[in-house]
């Protein structure tokens, strides 16, 4: 019997040969009708019957709508792998998150999840280091990694930035990063920043006996980005940062394929333009999965207890997708980053929720300490080291005690 409809609610997806897309859909029209329009527009069809679309092509390439649940608005569609170019995130998104959002029949549409077969995933490079490689580089085995963003975001000279990095590295911080909008500024040139930061990084390593990392923000046009990454590598750096939304995941793939031996720190600035609304856009879960495929080693995923939007359930699901073994693929796990509104008083509940495989990233919650950035770094270090110690007495550590007085824990965590 010839297949003439995209709707097949008795269909059992072939998880070895199909990509499963889960959408949230709202429409004034019946969901079954609109779902078929989505399936057609995202694959081989269009708004009218085509004399050029043969039965043979339809039988081979038509996606299958195998699940519709009107009360929740959930629609699941299985797409044959033949519809997708090998290892091309742009082509994937052009199909599954493209024209379908512009259709008049669609009221609201959100891409909630994508499930990939092994034969599709195996073509992606994935992270170069992953969690194990980052921990090995830092020689940190069983605690959360302590990160700090230099504050203010922009405004410091390269020398001021480098000296501030040294101050926090020397007092317990493992990783320092540029902020998302600091690249090559008139008051803080990129190459000058790399030169000065690497001098102070080596100084901190020698004095503390501990490995340190700086994530240099190389975000820019692909050729500029690559030149900056090569400059970091040439001068002994181990990590570069990219704003994955603004540069695009294709540029992340491009950077990863250069095999420069650098950790790729993925910042998600701007993601909420399309991930925050629960009935529109794309979920952060999908973006995180694609970022892992593209090759980031670290990714900002949410804080639960901090200033950024995201429930514990949502952030945990994202972190799990970054860390679990993905079928038979060799894609390494990504290290999640909790960043945004964190201070020492939030460390214990944060780690209780998200676990130790985490970068706990402090900005204002470190540099805003009443004793300054040095005291703030000590307080953050003390908070992380004591996160699992039920007998810990903050009064033994004046920097942490002062931080807890400034940022009361009960107030900051009341909503989580």
Distance CA 312, CA 356 (A): 15
Distance CA 210, CA 176 (A): 14
Distance CA 350, CA 180 (A): 23
Of 68-72, 152-156, 350-354, 394-398, the range with the lowest mean pLDDT is 394-398
Residue pair 96/77 in contact by the 8 Å Cβ criterion = no
State the span(s) of the chain assigned CATH 3.30.70.150: 18-121
Distance CA 137, CA 211 (A): 7
Q: State the pLDDT confidence band at 2, using cuts at 50, 70 and 90.
A: low
pLDDT by residue (tens digit) across 77-127?
Answer: 999 999 999 999 999 999 999 999 999 999 999 999 999 999 999 999 999
Please give the CATH architecture assigned to the domain spanning 18-121.
2-Layer Sandwich (3.30)
Of 170-184, 187-201, 304-318, 390-404, the range with the lowest mean pLDDT is 390-404
How remote is the C-alpha of 192 from its chain's centroid? Answer: 28
Distance CA 77, CA 9 (A): 10
Percent of the residues in the chain that have a pLDDT greater than 70, as a whole number? 96
Residue pair 327/121 in contact by the 8 Å Cβ criterion = yes
Sheet strand arrangement including 281-282? 64-69, 74-80, 18-26, 108-115, 281-282
Going by DSSP bridges, is the β-strand pair 335-339/175-177 parallel, antiparallel, or unpaired? unpaired
pLDDT by residue (tens digit) across 248-269?
Answer: 999 999 999 999 999 999 999 9
Q: What is the pLDDT of residue 26?
A: 98
Selection from 69, 12, 20 nearest residue 286 by Cα:
20
pLDDT by residue (tens digit) across 191-205?
Answer: 999 999 999 999 999
Q: Residue 69, class by beta-carbon neighbours within 10 Å (0-12 exposed, 13-18 middle, 19+ buried)?
A: exposed
Instruction: Give all strands (DSSP E) within 258-334, no chain letters.
Output: 263-267, 281-282, 298-300
Distance CA 166, CA 253 (A): 32
- The backbone torsions φ and ψ at residue 232, rounded to the nearest 5 degrees and listed phi first, read -60, -45
Q: State the pLDDT confidence band at 416, using cuts at 50, 70 and 90.
A: very low
Pick the CATH number of 130-406 from 3.40.50.150, 3.20.20.140, 3.20.20.110, 2.120.10.70: 3.20.20.110
List, by residue number, the catalytic residues.
151, 267
State the span(s) of the chain assigned CATH 3.20.20.110: 130-406
**Is pLDDT above 60 for 410?**
no
What 8-state DSSP symbol labels residue 7? B
Distance CA 47, CA 127 (A): 40
**Is pLDDT above 60 for 412?**
no
């Amino acid at each position: 019997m010839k297949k003439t409809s995209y709707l097949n609610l008795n269909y059992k997806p072939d998880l070895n040969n199909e990509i499963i897309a889960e959408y949230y859909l709202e429409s004034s029209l019946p969901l079954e009708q609109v779902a078929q329009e989505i399936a057609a527009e995202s694959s081989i069809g269009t708004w009218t019957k085509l004399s050029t679309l043969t039965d043979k092509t339809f039988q081979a390439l038509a996606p299958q709508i195998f699940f519709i649940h009107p009360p929740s608005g959930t629609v699941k569609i299985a797409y044959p792998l033949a519809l997708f170019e090998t290892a091309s995130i742009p082509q994937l998104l052009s199909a599954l998150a493209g024209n379908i959002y512009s259709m008049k029949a669609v009221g609201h549409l959100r891409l909630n999840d994508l499930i990939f077969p092994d034969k599709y995933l195996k073509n992606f490079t994935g992270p170069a280091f992953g969690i194990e490689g980052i921990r090995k580089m830092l020689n940190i085995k069983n605690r959360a990694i302590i990160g700090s963003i230099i504050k203010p975001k922009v405004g410091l000279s390269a020398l001021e930035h480098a000296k501030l990095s040294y101050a926090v590295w020397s007092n317990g911080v493992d990783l320092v990063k540029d902020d998302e909008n600091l690249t090559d500024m008139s008051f803080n040139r990129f190459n000058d920043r790399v030169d000065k930061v690497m001098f102070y990084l080596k100084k901190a390593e020698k004095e503390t006996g501990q490995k340190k990392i700086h994530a240099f923000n190389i975000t820019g046009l692909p050729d500029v980005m690559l030149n900056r990454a090569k400059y970091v590598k040439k001068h002994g750096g181990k990590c570069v940062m990219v704003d994955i939304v603004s540069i695009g995941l294709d540029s992340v793939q491009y950077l990863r394929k250069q095999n420069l031996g650098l950790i790729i720190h993925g910042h998600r600035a701007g993601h909420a333009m399309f991930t925050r609304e629960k009935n529109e856009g794309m979920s952060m879960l999908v973006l995180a999965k694609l970022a892992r495929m593209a090759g980031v080693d670290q990714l900002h995923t949410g804080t639960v207890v901090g200033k950024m939007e995201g429930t514990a359930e949502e952030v945990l699901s994202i972190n799990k997708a970054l860390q679990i073994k993905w079928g038979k693929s060799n894609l390494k796990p990504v290290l999640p980053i909790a960043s945004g509104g964190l201070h020492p008083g939030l460390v214990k509940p944060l780690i209780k929720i998200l676990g130790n495989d985490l970068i706990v990233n402090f900005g204002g919650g470190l540099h805003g300490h009443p004793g300054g950035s040095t005291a703030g770094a000590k307080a953050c270090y003390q908070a992380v080291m004591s996160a699992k110690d039920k007998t810990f007495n903050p009064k033994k550590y004046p920097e942490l005690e002062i931080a807890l007085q400034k940022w009361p824990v009960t107030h900051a965590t009341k909503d989580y």
